[in-house]
Structure formats: structure tokens, C-alpha cells
Amino acid sequence: MLQSKSFVKKTKQGRVVKVVREHYLRDDIYCGALSCKVCDTSAARLTSSASTILIVDTNVVLHQIDLLENPAIDDVVVLSVVLEEVRNKNLSVYNRVKALCTNSLRKFFVFSNEHHRDTYVKEMVGESPNDRNDRAIRVAARWYQSHLGGSTQVLLITNDRENKRKAIEEGLSAETVESYVKSLGQPNLLDLVSLPTSEDVGMEEVEDLRPSKRKVIYNEHKPMSEITSGLLRGIYHQGKLRVNRYNPFEAYVGSESIGDEIVIHGRANMNRAFDGDIVAVELLPQDQWHEEKSSIIADDEDDEEEDVHLVPSSADDAPRNTNLVQPAAASTASTSSRPAGRVVGIIKRNWHSYCGSLEPMPMPAGNGGIAHALFVSKDRRFPKIRIQTRQLENLLDKRIVVAVDSWDCLSRYPSGHYVRTIGKIGDRDTESEVLLIENDINSRPFSAQVLACLPHLPWTLSSEVLANPNRQDLRHLRVFSVDPPGCKDIDDALHCTSLPNGNFEVGVHIADVTNFVLPGTPLDEEASQRGTSVYLVERRIDMLPKPLTEDICSLRSDVERLAFSVIWEMTSEAEIISTRYTKSVIKSCAALSYVEAQARMDDSRLMDSLTTDLRNLNSLAKVMRHRRIERGALTLASAEVKFQIDTETHDPLDIGMYQIREANQMIEEFMLAANVSVAEKILKHFPLCSLLRRHPTPTKEMLEPLLRTAAAIGLDLDISSSKALADSLDHAVGDDPYFNKLIRILATRCMTQAVYFCSGDLSPSEYHHYGLAAPLYTHFTSPIRRYADVIVHRLLAAALGIAKLPPIFMDGLQLTSIADNLNYRHRNAQMASRASVELHTLIYFRKRPTDTEARIVKIKSNGFIVFIPKFGIEGPVYLMPRGDKGGDWVVDEVHQKVMRTGTNISYGILQTVRIHMEVVEPQPNRPKLELTLT
Amino acid sequence: MEYVNPLTGFRLDGRRPNEMRQIRGEIGVVAKADGSALFEMGNTKVIAAVYGPREVQNKGQQINNRALVRCEYSMANFSTGDRRRRPKGDRRSTEISLVIRQTMEACILTHLLPHSQIDIFVQVLQADGGTRSACINAATLALADAGIPMRDIVTSCSAGYLCSTPLLDLNYIEDSAGGPDVTVGMLAKMDKVTLLQMDAKLPMDIFENVMQLAIEGCKAVAHYIREVLLEHTKQLECHRGA
């Protein structure tokens, strides 16, 4: 049966055209109930025993998705009209429903009511699309009722009063979400129900009991039409709101129309916007652009303070430099150039669910067990969220997940609902789980479809693989690997043979992951989604399933493995004469650790061939490294720490700086060289669709804090180029041995991170990698743990003509989105690792209050921030009690000093101080590390 | 954009990936022509008129051992949503005219009609994707109506590849999605492909699947066209009163 759908549409040019589309109605759409005798039940998902089948309307899906995801709700029919509406309104909810409908454990069935002969409804004259869709839902519900007969009850779930009334009039059973959940008799589920907005059926009187609080706190958001016209006229500016990670009362909106970031001070100006929301901003008059007085933040309404945290490894992790103490002369000039603004409207919300805990509160008396509680997100960028709960006593000491429902201008905090409990606060597993959720890391086991893509175990080298003319047999070479001790995912190995002409043949052999991860398979999709393996202190979350990561791909010793090799001929001066790329078969003769390799090289008695190879490689690496530094590559430093973990309890036993040896640098050098060689090769063949990695040159503003510190201690840094900076860093030698490293650490945190990009998106001059001083760079050497390398392997194989280029490379947009996802995953993985180290640091110091040496890295008006080299952490030391503003401490901004008036006690930047570290619990269940002067 | 719903497997208009739109053919719609037909594929509607075999109008073009086949493709001003004056002989219509001419020439037994000319006029009345295929199908019907000797009936159908699924008979929305569009014309009974067009890149193995789907489509069209012809012949028989 054929129906024509016609509607009128306005084109971009402003012309009005009539669009006619065919709409086929079918009689072969099945109801999805297993018990149905008429329909084909091969694709049915609803249980045969179900006495009730739920049909949900659009708003129920949109607002109660957390409830639907709970396994207690099942046998749900999702109509295609609902699905379509949900997709148009909220893509993230749509994806969640989609996941529910494809999950084989859940009984969610999608019914194409719009294409079914009996359930299609035509819009009536004067009927709004919303009413038409509601009618379509009711028609479908009625069809189900008559189709399934009396054996099964069909229940329409809707919170819309009008819809419910009509449904009951038409003889359907209809209920609101809350009354249905109540009838299930599981009080915990009620917490998942999000509160209805005013026009829906009232569920329960949720009046705020404190009338004084019912006053307007925030400005009303401007209506969308006004925002659109304001944006067009240039009085409003659109952009994504980014809340300062270290000061939730300060946010930035990157605006294209201004070409600069707009600063937004305070919650009132942020006007209910969340981090990540797309907002419309109005600029404040210029005289209000500077209003923030810097101190270690303290707002009168919220009592938040800076925590002890890991030392930032790049500018992306570091606190923004705006609320630093700035030299008085510069302050007016530099801050007035930063436009400040306020949010007038929110164009697109970025609400999702948040991890955190409830603010401690006494148990309320009575009120039917319903308590209003304030939820504090672990991520400080988000405001507190008001929730209603019936299980307060259970939740107080738990980490929970909460979703936001609404935020009107009468309430200080947004209101939300409880989603689920993760575990007890402070428990290591719970906290690890929290940091995974916070960083959006998928730690679920691999699905059956993904595991089905793995080769049969035990994997052995087959004769077909050997017979492949594109795969070279390199098993005769003396190949070995050098990795951190205990490394199981070995993705690189080396060999070095001296040639008769005095040159060396050096090969870098990388695990041939793409031989097992074929494009377009579920395994590939999963890896592409995960993007990278995540290394936490006590565990590793793999990008590829364990058999691949630890066995089949891992280049372990004494087994035959497939590899992708880059082989150079080098002179003894490390000049590359020729480069060759090939897929290969290798047999590693030794899997060394850095310590072992170093010991072999240092032990002058050892003269075996393996040791000679190592020494040759090392001398080549030294030349290469020297040349690279000559070119202007920066030697940056990070304060990486290493934990010793108790194998039984997984508690940290010891903590210390990660030691870098010559062997590490040697391996690093060859990996860099391989990456550069591969980058050149793939870019030559695929100038528009190569995946490369670039590191943007830091701007002067980003290096500002470094320069200010350097100036305060009388050090002159030249930042005109990476070479100049590298040289002046080399010359920055102070009176103590750690001084140079400290300066380097401070320099490192001023840089942004390197990012992946698709070569077609940028011009060649932007490909530059600043930190490595290389015009081209990519990632090729760790395909087991990074998806970028997998892509690069495919590109290289295609460039060599031994494999076809997968179709996704033809689509520039898709490649860009892959690159964006990789950057996002990469960053999240790093954040998670850092959070994991922070968590273990806290656990470590819980039982061990320690006195140690620290360096002052930043001066604040009420204290300073110290860096503790031994543990790689950084945190505030307060000179005066909180709330005691002013005091008798005076900040000397030019010399970056804080002095006590009347005495000669002063603290200057980079000065060494003795501090005491101890874990305190100012509030129950909220342990934190506190630093005090000894 | 989800051109194939991942949950239900239906396309935007409610078809499955391997389903064609509704097709309809009608013979004898232009009384003056020697043969004419109307062919619809969903909302795509095409009219074809055949004149000939007749004397060659321009003697210079006459071919001594076979017939001269000419084809003219045009689109009605009202055939798309926005009404637009369409110049005659633009690149697109010249190209499609050529494609149709070559496809039809391959099946007409031109050597039986030397010194003569056959004119095929096709006009798109309503366009909704797949006009090329619809034109070929209409021309086949019209040629058969004109009683012109043919090897077999040529039919055509297109197929595309969107959302990693091969789709049969793309409509306008699917066609303008930017994916590949494979148009196949074939002699259904003889199983010979006479037309194959695609202006996109597609990996070989996928291309083969898509082309196979288009071939299935052609066969289905051929089946239908044969039915229409049979029905028409029966009616002629009736009229004669035999």
C-alpha cells in the first residue's frame, strides 16, 4: 500500500518548495511478542510469559531513560515514531535507547508503526505534529491490544495528562511513570524517576518548604528567537562553555565571532550553564572586565578549595593562568584585553550523568522517607545537584551517579535524580570505577562479537603466511625487545647488524596488529572506539582483547611473530642511507627490561653479540639524539612516579620517581626515527588522508607563567624558537642539582599536548611538531595499545601496495572524526592515569604522615603552591587560616614573594621548604591530603 | 543520517534494502507515435514515444547497412519541486540521451532496417531519483509497442551503497546522499549487461554485491515489463475480435 507524504519546505535560498515523498505501508511488520501466533516470531524479543507490555511515549523515553535502563523495566515496545522524535530532540538519549533495543539481554522491541498498514495515521487538518504523534502512539497501543487479545495487557506509559485522558477514553490502560513504578513495589526504583515539569501530571507535591528560597536567583534565559537574532546582529556570541577545572566559578567561552576567549566570572554570570554547553554570551561593559581578585579560591556560597594533585604534565592539565597574581603594572593592561561576559541563553545542553557523593546531612524526620539531598560531583566543574531520595541512609557513604533534569531560575542548584550506586566512598575499587566513569573510559569486558573476531588459540605461524610474497622472513635476524619490567604487551623490537661496508642495518619491528584486526570488523570498531589502552596504577584496560594484547601480537621472546618492519641502512654517524618497509616474520631472541639492557651495556666484561648490538644501537642513538637536540627538540621533564604495589592487597607499598636510563632514551630514539620515516612515507602516498601528529608552537601567553617565574629569580629565557628555548633551558643551572629539572617541569606544563589530525584538514606548515622539532610526525610503534598506530599501519601497507586502503580513508570527514575521538580518548586516558596515581598517593599517605622537602612553584595571596619532587605531587600550603582574609602577609608581585609584615620571614618562588603531609578528614568520608609547613 | 534504520532495517520510505519502489508501465499513451509508453518507478514518471522505422530525415546521416537510432531526453519544467526552465541540450541531458541511445541500439536489430531511422523521445514528467533507469525501461516498452525488432528487452535499475548496506532503486533523497550510484542496464533473458555506470569510488568486493543487486532489480523489471507486454498483446487480440 502506498501513501504519499507531502510537505512544504523552505530552501536555503529562501524559496518555498513542495516536497513529496513516498511512504510505503506494509503488512509484514511483526509485533515482536514470542507468544503471538499470527506473526513471524524469529525476531521477537518480548517474552511469551509477559502479562503486561509497556508502550512508552516520547517524553518518557527522553526524561526517564535512567529508569528504562534499569533491568526491572522490561517488555517495552518502542514505537518508531517515538524513536524518531527522540532522535530529533536528544541524540545521546537516542543512542542509549538504541543500545537498549539491540541489547540481547533486554526485552525492548522496536515496532515500525509508521510503516505498518494498520497503525499509520495521517495528520488531520488543524492537528499539531505533537498531537498527531500522540494519536499515533495510541493507535499503535490499540492495535497491540487487539492483536494480542486478552492474554496480554498493553499499558501505555505517559506523563502527559491530555494523552492519558484520551487513552483511557479510548479504552486503553494508561498510567504515569510514577504510578507504574509504584505498582512494581520496588521503592529504590522511584529514585530513578525524574521529576515532571509543571505541565505534566503532578506526581507528588514537591513544593520547596522554604519560601524564602523561592526567589529569582538567576536571570531568565532569553528566548531562542532573540538569541538567534542577537547572534546575527553580533551582540551575542556563541561558543562552548569550558569551566576552569581548578576554579568552578570561572569559565571560558571560545567565541569565533570575537576570535578570543570570553571569561565568565561567577555562577550568576554563568547563569545555569554547565561545562560543555553551547551558550550565547553577552559581553559585559569594558570597565567590568577585571573583577576577580586572585587568591586560592574561596567563594562565599560554596566552600571549596584547591586539592593536592599530581603535577600537571602539560598546559592542558594545568590551572589556567588567569587567576595568578600578576605584576601590578601588567595587570591592568593584560586583563582588560580579556573580554568578560555573561551567559544570556543556552543553545544546547551537554547534560549527562555525573559521579560524586551526597553532601553529609542529618537524617530528616518523617516525610515518608523522602529526603532532599545535595549531590556534590567529584569533578569540581559541575555545581551541586539537588536530588530526591528514599534511601538516604544507604547513599550517604556511597559514590553515586546522578543525572540532571532541570534547572530553573528560582533554584540555586539544578535538580536531578539518582541513577545508580557505584560503591563505598574511599574504597579503592569504587574510586577506580569512579575515575573510569568520569573519564568516559569503557572498562567493560569485550563482547562476544568482538571476541569472535580473534584467531584460534593457540596461534601458530601458518605456511600460507610464510608463503605470502609480501611478507619477508626475518627469523634469522637477532631481534630483541627492551621494555619496562613486567611488560606483557610488547609492541616493538629492534635489531642491529653491522654490514661489511662499515654501515649498520638497523630494524625496528612493530607488532603486526592489522594482520589480526581487519577493518570494519566488530573488533576494529571496538578498538577504534576505545582508542587507546588505559594504564592505571593497579590495572590496565586494554584496547584489544587479552589474547591479542599479551600473546598473539606481543613480540615475546623465542616465538615466531608477525611484524611490520622499518629497516634502515645507517652510517656509523647515524646518517640514514636507505629506508625500507616490509611486513615480516621475526623471532625475538630476548625480551629485556630497561634495567637488564642497561646492565648489559654497562658491564664491560660482556662481549656477546647481543650486548654488542645493544652498544652499537646505543652509540647510534646518542648521535641521533644529539642531532635532534641540535635541531631544537626540547628535553622536557615530567615528574612521573612509580608505585610498588602489594600483590595481595593491591595497596601501594612504596612510591618514588620513575628513573630514566640511557636504555630508555635509546629505544625512544629509534621509535621516534621510525615514526618520522613512516610519516614521510604515508604522507607522500596519501597527502590528503594521512593520520599525523602535530604539536602546536606555544603562544607567548602560554609561556607567560614560566617567564614570570624566571624573571622573579633573575633567569633570562629566550622563547623565540624551540631551539632558543632548548638552549636557554640548558643554561638554566642553579645552585642545586634539581633546579634545572624544576625549570623544565615548569616549562613542560606551559605546552599544550600534541594532537592527531588528518593531513587533508591542515596546510603542510601546520604539520610541525614543536616539541620534537620535526616537520612531520606520526604514531606507528605501538599498535597494540593505540588505535592511531593501527590506522597508520593500514596506511603504510596501502602505500606499499600490499593491502587495499579501507574505504573510510576516502571520507575525509570520517577520518577527522576518528582523529578527534583519538585525541579525546588519549586525553581521557591520561587524565585517568593521573587520577589513579592521585588516588594511590592518597591511599599511601593515609597510613604514613610524612615530612619532606618541597619547592614553591606559585605564590598566592594567602599561601603558596608547593611541588614535592619526591612524590610528583603539588598542592597548596596556607599561611593563614581559611576565611581570614588579608592578614599580615603581603605579596611582593615583582619578586614573587610573600612576606610577613614586621618580620623578615618571607617565602619566594622556587624556594625550598620543609612540609608535613598528612591525610585528614575534615568531613566524614572525604579524606584529603593536607600540606602544612613544619 | 541513517538511510537504513539500524533497529528496524527499513529505509526512510519504509522499503527494505533489497526492495524496489512500486513500478507501473502503460503502453500506448501517445496516439500519434508509432509506439509509446509511460513508466513509473515510485514517484519517478517517464513518458517515451518512438517514431519509426521511417525514412532518414537528413540524408547525410543515412547508414546503408543498418538503421539510424536517435534519442532525445528531456525533463519537463514541472518535473521537480522547484519549477525551473531547463535548457535543451545541456550536458546532463546530452549525456543521458547518449546513454539511452547506446543501450537501445545494443538491443535493436538495426541490421534488419537499413536506410531507416528510429527516433526515441523520452521525457521525465516527475523526477524522484533513478530517471535514467526509468527512461530506459519506458523506451523498451515504447519500442516494443512500435513493433521494432529487438534481441531481447533491455531493462535497467540502479543500486547504491549507503550505511554499509547495498540499496536497490535509490530514490531522490538516497541518491543525493552522496554515495555511489550504480546504474545497470541489461538484456534480461540473455543475461548480458549493456550498461554499467558509476561515478564514485567503491571497493571491488562491495561493488560486485551492489551490481549484483542492481542486476536482480533489472530482472524483476524485465519480468514485469514482459507481463505488461503480454497483457497489451492480449488486449490487441481482443480488439481484433479474433
Q: For B203, which residue in chain A has the nearest alpha carbon?
A: A807
How high is the pLDDT of residue A215?
A: 65
**How does A485-501 read in b/e, with b if 16+ C-beta sit within 10 Å?**
eeeebbbbbbbbeeeee
How high is the pLDDT of residue B120?
A: 96
**How does A143-167 read in b/e, with b if 16+ C-beta sit within 10 Å?**
bbbebbeeebebbbbbbbeebbebb
- Kindly report, residue by residue over A872-890, the tens digit of the pLDDT: 788 888 777 655 555 667 7
Q: Which of A94, A69, A96 is nearest to A84 (CA)?
A: A94
Burial grade of A348 (CB within 10 A; 0-12, 13-18, 19 or more): exposed
Q: What are phi and psi of A896, to 5 degrees?
A: 55, 60
- Kindly report, residue by residue over A747-766, the tens digit of the pLDDT: 877 778 888 998 888 888 88
Would you tell me which CATH number, out of the four given (3.40.50.300, 2.40.50.690, 3.30.420.40, 3.40.50.2300), belongs to the domain A224-348?
2.40.50.690
Tell me the chain B residues in contact with residue A520 when contact means C-beta distances shorter than 8 Å. 164
The answer on pLDDT for A178 being more than 70 is: yes
Q: Which of B15, B35, B32 is nearest to B169 (CA)?
A: B15
Look at B23 and A464; give whichever has higher pLDDT.
Answer: B23
The answer on pLDDT for A785 being more than 60 is: yes
Q: Which of A155, A91, A82, A134 is nearest to A112 (CA)?
A: A82
The alpha carbon of residue B8 is apart from the nearest alpha carbon of chain A, in Å, by 7
Q: What is the CATH number of the domain that holds B191?
A: 3.30.230.70
Q: Which residue do the cell numbers 538519549 mark?
A: A93
Sorting pLDDT into bands at 50, 70 and 90, what band is A324? Answer: very low
Sorting pLDDT into bands at 50, 70 and 90, what band is A199? Answer: very low
User: Other C-beta atoms within 10 Å of A924: how many?
Assistant: 10
How high is the pLDDT of residue A331?
A: 39
Lowest mean pLDDT: which of A34-38, A315-319, A391-395, A595-599?
A: A315-319
Mean predicted confidence (pLDDT) in B20-46: 94
How far is Cα of residue B25 from the mean position of the Cα atoms in its chain? 11
- Kindly report, residue by residue over A635-649, the tens digit of the pLDDT: 766 666 777 777 666
Specify if B188 maps to a domain. Answer: yes
Tell me the chain B residues in contact with residue A26 when contact means C-beta distances shorter than 8 Å. 14
> What percentage of chain B has pLDDT greater than the value 90?
74
The DSSP code for A926 is -
> What percentage of chain A has pLDDT greater than the value 90?
10
Specify if B183 maps to a domain. Answer: yes
Q: Which of A913, A910, A914 is nearest to A712 (CA)?
A: A910
The alpha carbon of residue A15 is apart from the nearest alpha carbon of chain B, in Å, by 8
Under a CB-based contact definition with an 8 Å cutoff, are residues A916 and A869 in contact?
A: no
Beta-carbon contacts of residue A879 (< 8 Å; ≥ 6 apart): A862, A863, A864, A887, A889, A898, A907
How high is the pLDDT of residue A754?
A: 87
CA distances to A233, A398, A412 from A359, rounded to whole Å, are 44, 11, 15
- Kindly report, residue by residue over A491-531, the tens digit of the pLDDT: 899 999 988 988 999 999 999 999 888 888 889 988 988 89
Provide the residue ranges of all domains of chain A, joining segments of one domain with +: 23-185, 224-348, 351-425, 448-696+754-835, 700-748, 849-933
d(CA B45, CA B128): 8
How high is the pLDDT of residue A207?
A: 45
Whether residues B13 and A24 touch (CB distance < 8 A) is answered with yes
d(CA A568, CA A586): 16
Q: For B12, which residue in chain A has the nearest alpha carbon?
A: A23
How far is Cα of residue A647 from the mean position of the Cα atoms in its chain? 29
Look at B46 and A601; give whichever has higher pLDDT.
Answer: B46
Sorting pLDDT into bands at 50, 70 and 90, what band is A398? Answer: confident
Whether residues B8 and A2 touch (CB distance < 8 A) is answered with no
How high is the pLDDT of residue A287?
A: 73
The answer on pLDDT for A851 being more than 70 is: yes
- SS in 3 state form for A816-875? HHHHHHHHHHHHHHHHHHHHHHHHHHHHHHHCCCEEEEEEEEEEECCEEEEEECCCCEEE
3-state secondary structure of A648: coil
Enumerate the H helices of A457-604 as residue ranges: 463-467, 522-530, 546, 594-602
Under a CB-based contact definition with an 8 Å cutoff, are residues A377 and A356 in contact?
A: yes
Question: Which range scores top for mean pLDDT: A331-340, A722-731, B65-74?
Answer: B65-74
Nine-digit cell string for A778: 606520526
d(CA A128, CA A135): 11
How high is the pLDDT of residue A298?
A: 40
CATH topology of domain A23-185: Rossmann fold (3.40.50)
Among A26, A98, A102, the residue with its CB nearest the CB of B14 is A26
Tell me the chain A residues in contact with residue B203 when contact means C-beta distances shorter than 8 Å. 804, 807
- A3, A19, A21, A108: best to mutate for the B interface, most B CBs within 10 A: A21
Size of interface A-B (CB pairs under 8 A): 53
User: Other C-beta atoms within 10 Å of A809: how many?
Assistant: 22
Cis peptide upstream of residue A458 (ω within 30 degrees of 0): yes
Question: Which range scores top for mean pLDDT: A278-292, A680-694, B95-109?
Answer: B95-109
Among B43, B82, B203, the residue with its CB nearest the CB of A17 is B82
- Kindly report, residue by residue over B14-29, the tens digit of the pLDDT: 899 999 999 999 999 9
CATH topology of domain A351-425: OB fold (Dihydrolipoamide Acetyltransferase, E2P) (2.40.50)
Q: For B207, which residue in chain A has the nearest alpha carbon?
A: A807
User: Other C-beta atoms within 10 Å of A672: how many?
Assistant: 20
Dihedral, A621, A626, A631, A635 alpha carbons, nearest 10 = 90
Mean predicted confidence (pLDDT) in B95-115: 94
Mean predicted confidence (pLDDT) in A149-162: 84
Whether residues B173 and A115 touch (CB distance < 8 A) is answered with no
3-state secondary structure of A157: strand
Q: For A101, which residue in chain B has the nearest alpha carbon?
A: B7
The answer on pLDDT for B194 being more than 90 is: yes
Sorting pLDDT into bands at 50, 70 and 90, what band is A329? Answer: very low
Tell me the chain A residues in contact with residue B10 when contact means C-beta distances shorter than 8 Å. 112, 115
The amino acid occupying position A73 is: I
CA distances to A8, A10, B83, B126 from A17, rounded to whole Å, are 6, 6, 9, 15
d(CA B37, CA A89): 46
Q: For B43, which residue in chain A has the nearest alpha carbon?
A: A22
Q: Which of A158, A189, A175 is nearest to A69 (CA)?
A: A189
How high is the pLDDT of residue A2?
A: 58
Whether residues B6 and A98 touch (CB distance < 8 A) is answered with yes
d(CA A636, CA A698): 14
How high is the pLDDT of residue A12?
A: 62
Tell me the chain A residues in contact with residue B79 when contact means C-beta distances shorter than 8 Å. none
The answer on pLDDT for A906 being more than 60 is: yes
Whether residues B173 and A21 touch (CB distance < 8 A) is answered with yes
The answer on pLDDT for A670 being more than 80 is: yes
Mean predicted confidence (pLDDT) in B168-191: 91
Domain that holds residue B30: 23-240
Q: For A22, which residue in chain B has the nearest alpha carbon?
A: B13
Whether residues A20 and B43 touch (CB distance < 8 A) is answered with yes
d(CA A245, CA A534): 22
The answer on pLDDT for A293 being more than 50 is: no
- Per-chain mean pLDDT for chain A: 80
How high is the pLDDT of residue A568?
A: 92
The alpha carbon of residue A17 is apart from the nearest alpha carbon of chain B, in Å, by 6
How many structural domains compose chain B? 1
Look at A114 and B83; give whichever has higher pLDDT.
Answer: A114
CATH topology of domain A849-933: OB fold (Dihydrolipoamide Acetyltransferase, E2P) (2.40.50)
CA distances to A67, A431, A532, A825 from A442, rounded to whole Å, are 21, 15, 11, 10
Sorting pLDDT into bands at 50, 70 and 90, what band is A701? Answer: confident
Do the domains A849-933 and A224-348 match in fold? Answer: yes
Mean predicted confidence (pLDDT) in A129-135: 90
Specify if B151 maps to a domain. Answer: yes
Whether residues B14 and A102 touch (CB distance < 8 A) is answered with no
d(CA B135, CA B157): 10
Lowest mean pLDDT: which of A41-50, A150-159, A767-776?
A: A41-50
Q: Which residue do the cell numbers 514505537 mark?
A: A79
The alpha carbon of residue B66 is apart from the nearest alpha carbon of chain A, in Å, by 43
Whether residues B13 and A102 touch (CB distance < 8 A) is answered with no
The alpha carbon of residue B194 is apart from the nearest alpha carbon of chain A, in Å, by 28
How high is the pLDDT of residue A848?
A: 80
In chain A, the N- to C-terminal Cα span, in Å, equals 85
d(CA A743, CA A740): 5
How high is the pLDDT of residue A8?
A: 61
Enumerate the H helices of B4-130 as residue ranges: 91-105
The answer on pLDDT for B213 being more than 60 is: yes
How high is the pLDDT of residue A297?
A: 42
The alpha carbon of residue A810 is apart from the nearest alpha carbon of chain B, in Å, by 8
How high is the pLDDT of residue A211?
A: 45
The answer on pLDDT for A205 being more than 90 is: no
Look at A831 and B159; give whichever has higher pLDDT.
Answer: B159
Whether residues A23 and B173 touch (CB distance < 8 A) is answered with no
The alpha carbon of residue B60 is apart from the nearest alpha carbon of chain A, in Å, by 46
Q: Which of A774, A814, A271, A68 is nearest to B164 (CA)?
A: A814
The alpha carbon of residue A24 is apart from the nearest alpha carbon of chain B, in Å, by 5
The answer on pLDDT for A234 being more than 90 is: no
Mean predicted confidence (pLDDT) in A472-489: 87
